[in-house]
Structure formats: C-alpha cells, structure tokens
Amino acid sequence: MPLPFGVAPFPPFLPYGGGAWGQSPGPPPANQMTMHGRAPMPWASSQGRFPAPEGRRRPSSASQRKSQRPRFTRSAYQPDPSAARPEDSKPCRTLFVRNVAFEVDMHVLRSDFAAFGEIRTWFDIVQRRGMLFVTYYDTRAAENARVHMNQKEYEGRALDVHFSLPKDEDQQQHCDRTKNQGTLFVALEDASEPLTEEALQAKFIEFGDIRSIRTYKDQMHTRFLEYWDSRACVAAHDALQDTEFLGGRLSIKFAWDLATVSLVNDARQRSEAKAAAEARAQAALAEEPAPLPIEQPAPLPTVQPAPTEPDTLPAPTESDAAPAPAATSWPEAADDRLEQAQKVQQVRE
C-alpha cells in the first residue's frame, strides 16, 4: 500500500542512519560497536573479551604488558669497595674496574686512565655489565692508576678499581712475548766467572728500569730478572739473546712475573681449600648414623557398629497381639439405659 505524500517511510530516530533526511552518522566508539544496530556487543566492551578478575587490572598498552613481564633483578649483595682484597697487595699490569656508569663518556674515562701511562689493551663491557679491564705496559702505571682512580666518581657513581686476578690456565701455557710479562730467565753457560747481581744489573739496565733480580734454586749461574715495563723485557731478550758475557754465553727465556705466579697459586690454594672443606662436610654427613625409624602407633581396635533397626518391621505374631477388650452384652446395656431414663423422668416430675 503506497504511503501518503510527505510521510517518511522510516522514522528518523530508527538506527538506520540519516538516509535521505541527513548525512550518515560517523562510526560509533569502539566500546559501542554494533552488529546490526546500536546495541553494544559484549566482546567489544572496554574490559576486553573477558572481564579481568578483581584485584588484577588488564594492561591497556603493549608497553605496559611488556613492563609486567618478569625480569632478572640485581642481586642484593653488593661488594664493599673499601674491603681489602688479596690481589691488591701484589700489583700487576691489568686493572679490573667495576661500578662504571652506563652513561659515562668512554673517551673521557680512557683519557683519564691514559694519564698514568701508555695503555696496552682496553676491554670494556660497560653497556652490558658496567665493568672494564685496563692493561698497561708498566706496572708502576697500573699502581698509580689504581690509587688515583679508585672511588673517583663518574655520572654519580664511584669506580671500584682492583688488580685483576690472572687465570689459572694462562700460567699453564708457555710464556712468550705476547703475555705482557716483564720477567726474563737468564742462564749463563760456560762462563769463566760467576754470575753476580751487580754484573747482571749493569748489563740489562740499559733497556729499562729493573724491578728485581732473584736466584733460582740456589743456582749461581741462573737468575730471574724482572723489568717494570714489559717492552723493556722484550727489547732485552731480542738484543742479548745468545751473546757473550763473562766468558760465556747468555741463554734468555721469557718467564711469568712473580706477582702473577703468586696470585695464581693463592687462587689455586683457595679453590683447593674450598673443595676440601666441601669434601669434609660431605664425609661428615655420610658418617652420621641413620635416623631411628619412627614408631608407628598401634592400630585402634575395630569398633563393631551397633545393630540398626530394620526398615521393615516383622509381622506381628499371635503372642504379640494385644488382648481384645471384653465384649459388652446387649442386655446389660439396655438395662442401664432404662434406668437412666427413669431417673430423668423423676427429676422432671
């Protein structure tokens, strides 16, 4: 049936848009998305597909979800920077630097360490762990750097500087010119004169300052000679190897520094002592008597359940039947009624 002229086919308030009576409305908000009309869909609510349980809020962004992931936290143990360490009493050429700020300017930090002497190697893992290793050619430069750079603040954090412990496996290798050591093992072969420290000092002093000269197993024709600078050690080895001296010939080999040997031995002794203590503890546990068995309590006597009444009562027998009341004879009952009627009549008269 056609509609009268001027009557709209659909009222404007129905949820079908403006149509011919105006512009189409914009999309509804996300929390009011509809399937066919304006009714909000249950899975498009602001609470998500499923409502979060009470006491737990759903993260609203990817960054918040990422921040809620479990992270590895830094250990609560922090070493005391002022505590004495065994390697600090035995200087070497490598420094171990901890507690370095991640924001530090590496060029400034390296120039400050280089002010004490030429740096041989610079290995830093500051961006990952906040530490670095600085190796000098001269042991005196490492000592001065440790004294002046320890507890110096960069970006609000004080440096923790110590002499580095050498690795045990490093000393087990053959020492050569690449190990940055300052010690030479000098042997005088076929000499006509005894080898003295004064003569050795005068011969080797031209290559650099000598730190120490020591004997080896009371052998008078051998010496350990240690330079402060490892470059002087290499220069003396290359210049004096297989040369004539005191009527004989010099045989020179690279050797590990005394501080390196001592530090490695100390570390090995500490490791062996720790292993021995653990072994003693395990042996003590093994020798302990086995614990006595726990006495089990005697079982409780079994209680027989009381007999219960049966659900169905037994059929009564003739002996259980109650005695029947005595039957009243009809003649006696009639006489009683007659007597009562006569009494009533007498009362009325």
Q: pLDDT tens for residues 50-61? A: 555 555 555 555
User: 131 pLDDT exceeds 70?
Assistant: yes
What's 136's domain CATH number? 3.30.70.330
Convert the pLDDT of each residue in 256-268 to its tens digit: 998 888 767 766 7
Convert the pLDDT of each residue in 222-243 to its tens digit: 999 999 999 999 999 999 999 9
Convert the pLDDT of each residue in 324-345 to its tens digit: 555 545 555 566 766 777 776 6
Of 251 and 273, the one with more pLDDT: 251
Both tokens of residue 53?
Answer: 């349980």
Q: Is 269 a member of any domain? A: no
Q: Mark whether 197 and 142 lie in a shared domain.
A: no
Rounded Cα distance between 101 and 317, Å, is 106
Q: How many CB atoms lie within 10 A of CB 166?
A: 20
Give the Cα-Cα-Cα angle 10, 15, 20 (nearest 5 degrees): 50
| Domain end call among 236, 261, 286 | 261
| Domain end call among 165, 192, 222 | 165
Rounded Cα distance between 195 and 201, Å, is 11
Q: Mark whether 181 and 160 lie in a shared domain.
A: no
Q: Is 45 a member of any domain? A: no
Q: For position 46, what pLDDT does the model report? A: 47
| Domain end call among 204, 235, 261 | 261
Question: Which of 98-112, 144-158, 288-302, 304-318 has the weakest average pLDDT?
Answer: 304-318
Domain region containing 189: 177-261
Please list the helix, strand and coil fractions of the chain in percent, rounded to the nearest 5, in that order.
35, 15, 50
Q: Is 11 a member of any domain? A: no
Is the CB of residue 204 less than 8 Å from the CB of residue 173? Answer: no
Q: Is 338 a member of any domain? A: no
Convert the pLDDT of each residue in 6-48 to its tens digit: 555 555 554 544 444 555 555 556 555 555 555 555 555 444 4
Q: Is 150 a member of any domain? A: yes
Q: Is 288 a member of any domain? A: no
Q: Is 221 a member of any domain? A: yes
Rounded Cα distance between 228 and 180, Å, is 11
C-alpha closest to that of 87 among 7, 10, 164, 16? 164
Amino acid at residue number 20: A
Q: Mark whether 207 and 153 lie in a shared domain.
A: no
Is the CB of residue 146 less than 8 Å from the CB of residue 217? Answer: no
- Domain count of the chain? 2
Q: For position 162, what pLDDT does the model report? A: 94
Strands 157-158 and 248-255: unpaired
